[in-house]
Structure 1
Amino acid sequence: MSDMLSQDEIDALLRGSAESDETNEKPEIRTDDHISTVEVDALGEIGNISFGSSATALSTLLNQKVEITTPQVSIVDRNLLEEEFPHPYVAIQVQYTEGFSGANLLVIRQSDASIIADLMLGGDGISPSQDLGEIQLSAVQEAMNQMMGSAATSMSTVFRKKVDISPPSINLMFIPKGEGKENLPEEDLLVKVSFALKIGELIDSSIMQLLPLKFAKSLVDELMAPEEVDIHTPSVPIEEPYHAEREVAAAHTVEAPRVEEPSVNVQPAAFADFESPQLGAHEAQNLNMLLDIPLQVTVELGRTNRSVKEILELSSGSIIELDKLAGEPVDILVNSQLMAKGEVVVIDENFGVRITDIVSQSDRLKRLK
């Protein structure tokens, strides 16, 4: 018996393979079927403005040059997220608490998040640990919090109202393994706004923003709302208030010559002598009303600057070196303003400070400005 297939059998196999491919082919989602070109442009402009300030905040935080370029807007199906996000990612969710009602999800690659965490913790970002522990995730969370805080401030300016967000929550996301999908928006269709992200010479990747389609459309509607109000409210008598103002202005113009200008007595300003104040009885009584106001007095031994990494490494028994020498006078602050200097003493079992020098009155006045 021959093991070779006949031409009819080969054709049948090819037809079956083609039918199988057609069956497995997934419907294509067209962006313009769900959002118009105007809405795409509006979402891109909102992203440009908000993430422009976010790049500045992240650059300051990481001490690296950060570039976030023009966004690309597309529609993704929640059921097809495995194709959109095939790699391990970190998802940061932010809820709007004022100004809007909705959520915003930032998605970055886990490898990029590792570099950001390393920079936040005082590293150079060149060879970061790929295992994101609790400390690393907290560092990335803080970086994204600063970014979204700046974005919310920019959106307040764009939408002319206060916009505020909740502290972000952070989760690892690897869709092919089913990790983190439960934290994604529940809507079937999502708007993905993708930005090219460059951080120095360390990261050349992307950062993505996922919004529910309904929420994205509401942002566009609110952005365009002022123009719609002007168009759809023709019954409001716009011209009448302006006519009334012109009539009032004309009346004032006619009556103005009838009013006689009062004589003005101009004298040089006189200021009290702070060095030797002479208070009258009334002034002394007013001053006495202020004498019972409590003030916070602080004795400062010294200061120092430490990175986040060094702070996190502190433990019981750690020693922090200050910027003052032993025996050097300490600063005495009143309501956080330097007022005097002194030396530390021990009174019975308590610490105290003996004042050795008082800041002059003129210097104190300058510090209060």
Structure 2
Amino acid sequence: MDKDMLSQEEIDLLLKGTEDLGNENTNEQVITEIERDTLGEIGNISMGTAATTLSTLLNKKVTITTPKVEVTTAGELSYEYPIPFVAVDVKYKEGLEGSNILMINIDDVKIITDIMMGKDEIDTNRELTELDLSAISEVMNQMMGSSATSLSEIFLKRIDIEPPKSYEITFSEGREKLEVLKTLAPIIKVSFKMVVEDLIDSEIMQLIPLDFGQQMVENLMGSPKDDFVEDGKTEEENINSFEKTDKGPSKEIVQKTPKVDKEYESENKEHIIIKKPEFETFDTTADVSYNESIDLVGDIPVELTAELGRTVKKIGEILEYGPGTVIELDKLVGEPLDIYANGKFIAKGEVVVIDDNFGIRITDVNNNYTG
């Protein structure tokens, strides 16, 4: 008689199969191809930056593949992934309103912790501890923090996150505890393959609520039914109408024009799109006089060089370089560049763009330079 009876697991699988037949096509139609591609590109850029940060933290080569975007539900995830995961809950506190969850294999978390602790041998057979959860929370804080910086550049506004929280949990337990999984609505799953040298080769999942994902796409692309210029209105009326919608610029405007803050708009509406740069004057610089003999060397060519930064690497590390390798320099973002004349340091400067060319604007002259 036992052979004629189905186990609870078999019943669950049959029920899942029935649900899948009814939901497979429905889920695929929840988001458009444009939304799918846009979310994939957002994930590609943000996780690419996060991978660079993880590589720095672990001092290991980290590779994250192009993301795969799918639509699923919390119920389907519970059936597909019955084993426990480490869930990292990331909430946005500025720029975007929402949260997402990163699901990581428990063994991967143990490996990352052991590397950060400087252990010679990796032990994945041990129990997951609070130290592991704290370590992965800090790692994700750094990774998603750098990711938020990349998103800030994409969305043209400041984006910041709250400190992430990590849990050892199954998807079934997560449906009771995590906001993203509590809903019955579809969930956007963005899957990445993460490889850390020969230590980690597995999948990371980013789960995004449907409305939050569509909100990001709308903020980036603009609402397709809203045009920046409407017939029958003056340019100023269209600008005011556009600002009141608070939906952000259209895709074309995002690509071509910087975001204009409200303070500048109120002061100078006729320059709503482009603000001319204002540079400090150098009128107070003391006049330098030369004798007439300087004319004798005036036609001698001097090679000027601007140095972005330096670093020291071993030959073995350099031999591993390839397309896509990121080399960290000793200069910080925004730090002045060094300017050399025939190899001699003469000044500091900052990068400017003149038409389609880069240039260097001198900000500080080395008065000790003697040639």
Q: TM-score range by the shorter chain?
A: 0.5 to 0.7
Alignment of 1:241-320 (within 5 A): 268-269=287-288
Q: Which residue of 2 aligns with 1:74?
A: 70
Residue deviations 1:20-76 (CA, integer Å, cap 9, x gap): 958962233334310010000000000011011000000000111111111111111
Supply the distance in 2 between the matched residues of 1:32 and 1:180 (Cα, whole angstroms).
22
Q: Which residue of 2 aligns with 1:25?
A: 18
Give, in angstroms, the shift of residue 137 of structure 1. 1.3
Q: Which residue of 1 aligns with 2:135?
A: 139
Q: Which residue of 2 aligns with 1:34?
A: 30
The change in CA–CA distance for 1:47 and 1:127 in structure 2 (over 3 A counts) is same
Structure 1 alignment gaps of length 5 or more: 1-16, 246-263, 271-364
Supply the distance in 2 between the matched residues of 1:110 and 1:184 (Cα, whole angstroms).
21
Compare CA radii of gyration and give the structure with the larger one: 1
Conserved? CA contact 2:74–2:171, under 8 Å: no
Residue identity (%):
41
Q: Which residue of 1 aligns with 2:167?
A: 171
1:102 aligns with 2:102: no
SS in 1 for 2:168: strand
2:198 corresponds, among 194, 197, 201, to 201
Query: What TM-score, normalized to structure 1?
Result: 0.56
The change in CA–CA distance for 1:23 and 1:267 in structure 2 (over 3 A counts) is closer
Supply the distance in 2 between the matched residues of 1:127 and 1:112 (Cα, whole angstroms).
11
1:192 corresponds, among 179, 189, 192, to 189
Amino acid across the alignment from 1:135: L
The change in CA–CA distance for 1:179 and 1:105 in structure 2 (over 3 A counts) is closer
SS in 1 for 2:177: helix
CA RMSD of aligned residues (A): 3.4
Supply the distance in 2 between the matched residues of 1:207 and 1:267 (Cα, whole angstroms).
60
Amino acid across the alignment from 1:107: M
Supply the distance in 2 between the matched residues of 1:240 and 1:203 (Cα, whole angstroms).
56
Amino acid across the alignment from 1:150: S
Amino acid across the alignment from 2:74: R
Supply the distance in 2 between the matched residues of 1:135 and 1:23 (Cα, whole angstroms).
37
1:44 aligns with 2:40: yes
Amino acid across the alignment from 1:111: D
Conserved? CA contact 1:193–1:208, under 8 Å: yes
Structure 2 alignment gaps of length 5 or more: 1-9, 239-269, 271-282, 290-366
2:144 corresponds, among 148, 156, 176, to 148
Conserved? CA contact 1:77–1:190, under 8 Å: yes
